[in-house]
Structure 1
Amino acid sequence: MKYALLFPGQGSQAVGMLGKHAVTEIEPTFREASDVLGWDVAKLVGEGPAEELNRTERTQPALLAAGIALWRVWRKQEPPSPTALAGHSLGEYTALVAAGSLRFADALKLVELRGQLMQAAVPEGTGGMAAVLGLDDEQIEALCARYPGDGVLEPVNYNSPGQVVVAGDAAALDWLQANGKANGAKLVKRLPVSVPSHCSLMRNAADALAERLDQTSVQPPAIPVFHNLDAKARVAPDEIRQALKEQLYRPVRWTQTIRALHADGVGAFLECGPGSVLTGLNKRIADGLQSLALDDAANLQQALTLARS
């Protein structure tokens, strides 16, 4: 069976994540990450506090390390190679490491910087994100376009049909919360984040990140990686760098990505990271998609059977 591995982004982190796998399988990768970053990733992931783990500059490298730790566990089972990889936002970096396009150490430093730049781009409390349920993509786009103020209000995560995340200035999000239901939304829920990711407020951060990307070695991926921008795979290193830059201020087209993989013949999707957020989204994207999260050792064995079938 053709299968794809999916790597989650921010929101999947939790103190104790990957705790259902043996410490001996996971901890070496966390130790390697600690040596690169100069702080104890294993201790933060295992003991918290949650407030520190949820800091963007900590969350991003910790999640990348968790995804690669689980990827290494998966590869030790000697499964057939996946047809393709994809990652949601931050998870795209994890996918590129798994594909051999980015070195693990380089990616850790990149995403730590990415988190720092994102947090610095918008003063805390002046921007944010909100999930909107019950409207299709075009309705969300039209609603955001009707915002009467001068601030930014943009759809940024097309997660599944009827579930889109919007980002922008705090005042614009207040307007969305006040007017969403009157315009057909079932729910507008503010997310507990201070960074308005994937919107135009991140352009300066993207420019600064691009400078580091230009200094980072990027190789053609050994496994195709479908990118958030347009659900297409890239081979040329400069095109990958550009995609990672634009990803910071352009929407994550997750629904389009999963449908593109499915149209390419992928029959099963395995979530390689903590939690099962992407597995849940897949159930809303298309009926009949086989999806399984690998953060449980029992699920990993079931996934191996699926991949070898």
Structure 2
Amino acid sequence: MKQENLAFIFPGQGSQKIGMLADLHSAFPVVKSVYDRASEVLGYDLWALSQEGEQEDINLTERTQPLLLTASFAMWQVWNELGGPQPSYMAGHSLGEWSALVCAGVIAFEDAVNIVRLRGKYMQEAVPAGEGAMAAIIGLDDEVVASACEAAREQGEVSLANFNSPGQLVIAGRKEAVQSAVDRCNEAGARKAMLLPVSAPFHTELMKPAADRLSKDLDSVLFVNPSLPIIHNVHAQAEMEPDNIKSIMLEQIYKPVGWVACVKSLTTLGCDVAIECGPGKVLAGLVKRIDKGLAVKNVDSPSLISTAIESVS
């Protein structure tokens, strides 16, 4: 049964942690099955990595991306196994958009696991290690941060990369330019402006080579019409044509993540409840600052998923 007011939202990098989904894995055999399928594609034991690896291992981009996609898809499978109602819309934050594509039936899970592994690899390789950077800027208006980036461009490429919530932005680019923009944001009165522990400048024009490489891999991957609309990061609208979706998922690599606009689109479309289908509560925190009218429920444990289904059914 479809719930008109229900959305599913899928987190991106930053939600991973050692030990995630352990209780769901113990309670639902389908979780083990999903991780086994991913491990077959990757050639290593993804579940063991998520439970017994080091945090620095799961923070490697080409491992983080399949790890989070697999976690989200496993949780979606549990939701359906328990008879949870179907959402009317989906949206994902950066990598999470690929999770949404899989859950909406646009792309086969195994194909997506391989694609996001390559996506992570190409994004990491697009700019040599140590040359790129990302920084979080908290407490300034978008226009002030954009001006700081503009002024810092004499040091190299730097631009807005993530519109996470009002007053919470991420900038990215060449390391020297990002540091210069951070300094300018601090001078402008930012509550916090700091470099993030990420070595590649995601969602900037510097990622265009990664998109070009991934384009060749996507040529042989089947995309079909989504079973329900997905609100995309690039323009906060739905795309229903497979070729358009494929194109926009390449653009998404080097264009900013418009998460604020995505959440506002969901609420405009009538959604007032969202399920964060992934480990942790990163998106719940962002949504609360964007629109308190959209209540977010987390489902990364058996008790939470049961409670969420009960509350929205």
TM-score range, shorter chain: over 0.9
2:73 aligns with one of 68, 74, 92: 68
1:49 paired with 2:86, answer no
Question: Any conservation in 2 of the 1:229–1:246 contact (CA below 8 Å)?
Answer: yes
| Equivalent AA in structure 2 for residue 218 of structure 1 | F
1:194 aligns with one of 170, 191, 199: 199
1:251 alignment counterpart:
256
Question: Any conservation in 2 of the 1:8–1:87 contact (CA below 8 Å)?
Answer: yes
Identity of aligned residues (%): 43
Q: Aligned equivalents of 2:137 and 2:258: distance in 1?
A: 15
Q: Aligned equivalents of 1:143 and 1:176: distance in 2?
A: 5
- Deviations along 1:152-174, one digit per CA (max 9) or x if unpaired, are 11101000000000001100122
1:21 paired with 2:58, answer no
Q: Aligned equivalents of 1:28 and 1:135: distance in 2?
A: 45
Q: Give the 3-state SS of the residue equivalent to 2:112 in structure 1.
A: helix
1:301 alignment counterpart:
306
1:7 aligns with one of 4, 7, 10: 10
Return structure 1 stretches of 4+ with deviation > 4 angstroms.
none
Flag the 1:22–1:43 CA change in 2: closer, same or farther, 3 A.
Answer: closer
1:169 paired with 2:174, answer yes
What's the RMSD between the two structures over aligned residues?
1.2
| Equivalent AA in structure 2 for residue 14 of structure 1 | K
Matched residues, number = 308
1:270 paired with 2:275, answer yes
2:228 aligns with one of 223, 231, 242: 223
Q: Aligned equivalents of 1:139 and 1:174: distance in 2?
A: 16
Residues 98-107 or 150-159, more deviating: 150-159
Q: Aligned equivalents of 1:260 and 1:148: distance in 2?
A: 32
1:106 alignment counterpart:
111
Q: How does 1:128-139 map to 2 (within 5 A)?
A: 128-139=133-144
Question: Any conservation in 1 of the 2:272–2:293 contact (CA below 8 Å)?
Answer: no
Question: Any conservation in 1 of the 2:273–2:296 contact (CA below 8 Å)?
Answer: yes
2:91 alignment counterpart:
86
Q: Aligned equivalents of 1:228 and 1:169: distance in 2?
A: 23
Q: Aligned equivalents of 1:252 and 1:214: distance in 2?
A: 24
Q: Aligned equivalents of 1:260 and 1:288: distance in 2?
A: 12
1:234 paired with 2:233, answer no
Q: Aligned equivalents of 1:152 and 1:293: distance in 2?
A: 37
Q: Offset of 1:148 from its aligned partner? A: 4.8
- Deviations along 1:182-233, one digit per CA (max 9) or x if unpaired, are 1131110111011110001000111111111122100000011111101111
Q: Aligned equivalents of 2:178 and 2:18: distance in 1?
A: 29
- Deviations along 1:238-263, one digit per CA (max 9) or x if unpaired, are 10011110000000000100010001
Flag the 1:148–1:68 CA change in 2: closer, same or farther, 3 A.
Answer: closer
1:208 alignment counterpart:
213
| Equivalent AA in structure 2 for residue 158 of structure 1 | F
Unaligned runs of 5+ in 1: none
- Deviations along 1:98-123, one digit per CA (max 9) or x if unpaired, are 00001000000100000110111111
Q: Aligned equivalents of 1:80 and 1:135: distance in 2?
A: 39
Q: Aligned equivalents of 2:158 and 2:20: distance in 1?
A: 33
Unaligned runs of 5+ in 2: none
1:31 alignment counterpart:
36
TM-score (ref. length: structure 2)? 0.96
| Equivalent AA in structure 1 for residue 261 of structure 2 | Q
Q: Aligned equivalents of 2:23 and 2:136: distance in 1?
A: 29
Question: Any conservation in 2 of the 1:176–1:188 contact (CA below 8 Å)?
Answer: no
